[in-house]
A and B are shown apart, each in its own frame.
Chain A
Amino acid sequence: MLLTPNALGWRLRGGLLLITGAIAAVLLLPIVFIVLLSFGSSQWLVFPPPGWTLKWYQQFFANPEWMQAALASLKVALLTTLVSVALALPCAFALVRGKFPGRKTLYAIFTLPMIVPLVVIAVAIYALFLRLGYTGTLLAFVVSHVIVALPFALIAVINSLKLFDQSIEDAAVICGASRLQAIYRVTLPGIWPGVFAGALFAFLVSWDEVVLSVMMASPNLQTLPVKMWSTLRQDLTPVIAVASTVLIGLSLLVMLAAALLRRRQPQFR
């Protein structure tokens, strides 16, 4: 009745479609808007733009500060991904395969960084690194990003490991492989899409992280969102629209990779 479109009645159905169309348009609006603005010629972000130009892109790519920030972002995100997956893999095996008590509690602890407000995590880790004198270092960025990226990687790996039939791995062991060999040669290739998805999530979380990065940043080391943040507080120059487009573009690429992966591996939907 309310879940079968034909029985809904044309008035309700039409109304619902209209509302949904409007909402979908609003969801897309800021994203499309920012990409268009980055090509607009107006310094004052007039919309629709009086003309089209690439000069903001030239300014962005010619400015060493923006380039260093983008490079730092990439470096931090890749390292965060690497560390998160390296920590999440053994952890997921223990939580899914283990029979020890308290697994539910442990799982809750591991996902706690998703629940504790980001500001609180940021201030806590800032206090630690301030005392140790590590603020403004690559280490501080990566460590703080891993705290929030780890749950995303962990959940993705756990979900794919649960879908993997352990008897296949056992069969490899019976056929003479050692347990480690079996995991390396049989299980890991089997759960690879889940691990990859976890890595993508970790990358996206780090790539877009603002609050932690603002706390960790120093004039010598800042990521792209930090540079955007400090520029935004002074003025709304279109160069920020370019930086936004770069952020969006890379996120979009990562999402497309994830979508292709889902298509190839239907069981990981």
Chain B
Amino acid sequence: MAASSSSRAVLGSATDPKRRVSDPARNRGERAVRWKGASHLVPALLFLGLFFLIPLIGLLLRGFLEPAPGLGNYQTLFANGAYAQVLLNTFGVAALVTLFSVLIGFPLAWTITLMPRGWGRWLFNIVLLSMWTSLLARTYAWLVLLQGAGVINKLLMAVGLIDEPLALVNNLTGVVIGMTYIMIPFIVLPLQATLQAMDPMVLQAGAICGASPWTNFRKVFLPMCRSGLGSGALMVFVMSLGYYVTPALLGGAQNMMLPEFIIQQVQSFLNWGLASAAAALLIVIALVLFALYLRLQPESPVDPQNAR
């Protein structure tokens, strides 16, 4: 595969100089060849442009235009103490969820790789099952499980760890528990792929060279996990910032997060300007973090260098 693609590259560069001297008519023909097939993109591009890109740009513009042109909405967003608390909640919860899902997802991904194929496959399927099970159903399950008279509280009291029910739901604790549960698969999948691709011999080499297991883990194993761990964690952080359903159901009325805030501004207060400013903030953060993610994982499936 590599040989054929490099020979193609050589051929391409060899014919290049000839192209420059060709007449305009031939140029046109070449352009047609070059853009061949691009017209098949039109339906999807049209759809996405009309229903996604234009509405998105329209929404972002409203943040600068309504109710009066200027940066007023952004000033309100950052200056108002209650809104600042919303921002703080959003980032705090996203950071905690990322931390916990990494701590839980890491051993899981590691064991899936270690296990004999059949068992590993089962574990992997459990992760997939949890990921593709209805989000609303899982959130509802946690809502019932975490109630004051719910199973978790009863269990903790039966064991004797606590004397009276803990407030596990309708607050940020509930949000963090529910969101961590939902995000675990998104850490496990990329990390497991990284671990699977790792060569065990490298670790053996570390051991032969005299590294203790702990040194080997810290200096060889963890650095090799970094790209999978980093991209998984970034993805989880970005997704956590934008989640609506789980925080809305498991959180309380006092500690709102940004997505809830946006919908409330639109549906209850019809304050499109402020909602759009908050949406812009969310988009900018998501895109910046996604750019970081792409730097950790530079391959694009349609990248020519990556073609089979």
Chain B residues in 8 Å Cβ range of A232: 136, 140, 143, 249
Task: Given A113-B52, A128-B58, A236-B144, verify A27-B184 contact (CB < 8 Å).
Answer: yes
Decide if B123 touches A116 in the complex (CB within 8 Å).
no
Decide if A33 touches B114 in the complex (CB within 8 Å).
no
In the complex, identify which listed stretch (B18-26, B29-37, B80-88, B159-167) lies at the interface while the others stay far away.
B29-37
A115 within 8 A of B: yes
Interface residues of A in 5-19 (CB under 8 A from B): 5, 7-9, 12-13, 16-17, 19
Decide if A90 touches B200 in the complex (CB within 8 Å).
no
Task: Given A93-B37, A127-B59, A211-B244, verify A104-B302 contact (CB < 8 Å).
Answer: yes
Interface residues of B in 6-42 (CB under 8 A from A): 33-41
Residue from B33, B141, B145 whose CB has the most chain A CB atoms within 10 Å: B141
- State A248–B56 Cα separation when bound (angstroms): 32
Write out, one digit per residue, whether chain B residues 200-242 have a CB within 8 A of any chain A CB (1) or not (0).
1001101100000100110001000000000000000010011
Chain B residues in 8 Å Cβ range of A125: 51-52, 55
Decide if B58 touches A127 in the complex (CB within 8 Å).
yes
Q: Contact check: which of B37, B51, B206 meets A128 at CB < 8 Å?
A: B51
Q: Contact check: which of A20, A26, A108 meets B300 at CB < 8 Å?
A: A108
Interface residues of B in 53-75 (CB under 8 A from A): 53-56, 58-59, 62
Interface residues of A in 142-160 (CB under 8 A from B): 143-144, 146-147, 150, 154-155, 158-159
Give chain B nearest CB distance to A164 CB in angstroms: 10
Chain A residues in 8 Å Cβ range of B302: 95-96, 103-104, 107, 158
Decide if A16 touches B44 in the complex (CB within 8 Å).
no
- The B contact surface, by secondary structure, is helix
A163 within 8 A of B: yes
Q: Contact check: which of B136, B149, B276, B287 meets A208 at CB < 8 Å?
A: B136
Interface size on A, residues (CB 8 A): 98
Decide if A3 touches B181 in the complex (CB within 8 Å).
no
Residue from A2, A116, A118 whose CB has the most chain B CB atoms within 10 Å: A2
Task: Given A20-B111, A27-B126, verify A251-B133 contact (CB < 8 Å).
Answer: yes
Give chain B nearest CB distance to A10 CB in angstroms: 13
A4 within 8 A of B: yes
- State A90–B38 Cα separation when bound (angstroms): 9
Give chain A nearest CB distance to B289 CB in angstroms: 9
Task: Given A20-B107, A119-B259, A128-B58, verify A9-B213 contact (CB < 8 Å).
Answer: yes
Chain A residues in 8 Å Cβ range of B127: 27
Shortest Cβ-Cβ A-B pairs, 9 listed:
A117-B242, A30-B141, A244-B137, A90-B40, A124-B55, A119-B259, A1-B203, A247-B134, A94-B40
Question: Can you sample 28 A-B contacts with CB below 8 Å?
Answer: A2-B216, A4-B200, A16-B110, A17-B111, A20-B107, A20-B108, A24-B108, A30-B137, A90-B44, A91-B44, A94-B37, A95-B302, A98-B37, A99-B33, A101-B34, A104-B303, A106-B45, A107-B302, A110-B44, A113-B48, A117-B259, A119-B242, A120-B59, A208-B134, A210-B136, A232-B249, A244-B141, A247-B136
Taking A4-B203, A99-B33 as given, write out 13 further A-B residue pairs in contact, using a Cβ cutoff of 8 Å, ordered by the A residue number. A1-B207, A19-B108, A27-B181, A33-B145, A91-B44, A117-B241, A119-B279, A120-B56, A120-B279, A123-B275, A210-B136, A225-B136, A247-B137
User: Which chain A residues have a beta carbon within 8 Å of chain B's beta carbons?
Assistant: 1-5, 7-9, 12-13, 16-17, 19-20, 23-24, 26-31, 33-34, 37, 44-47, 86-88, 90-91, 93-101, 103-104, 106-110, 112-113, 115-128, 143-144, 146-147, 150, 154-155, 158-159, 162-163, 204, 207-208, 210-211, 215, 225, 228-229, 232, 236, 240-241, 244-245, 247-248, 251-252, 255, 259
User: Which chain B residues have a beta carbon within 8 Å of chain A's beta carbons?
Assistant: 33-41, 43-45, 47-48, 51-56, 58-59, 62, 104, 107-108, 110-111, 113-115, 123, 125-130, 132-138, 140-145, 147, 149-151, 181, 184, 195, 198, 200, 203-204, 206-207, 213, 216-217, 221, 238, 241-245, 249, 259, 262-263, 266, 272, 275-276, 279, 282-283, 286-287, 290, 300-304, 307-308
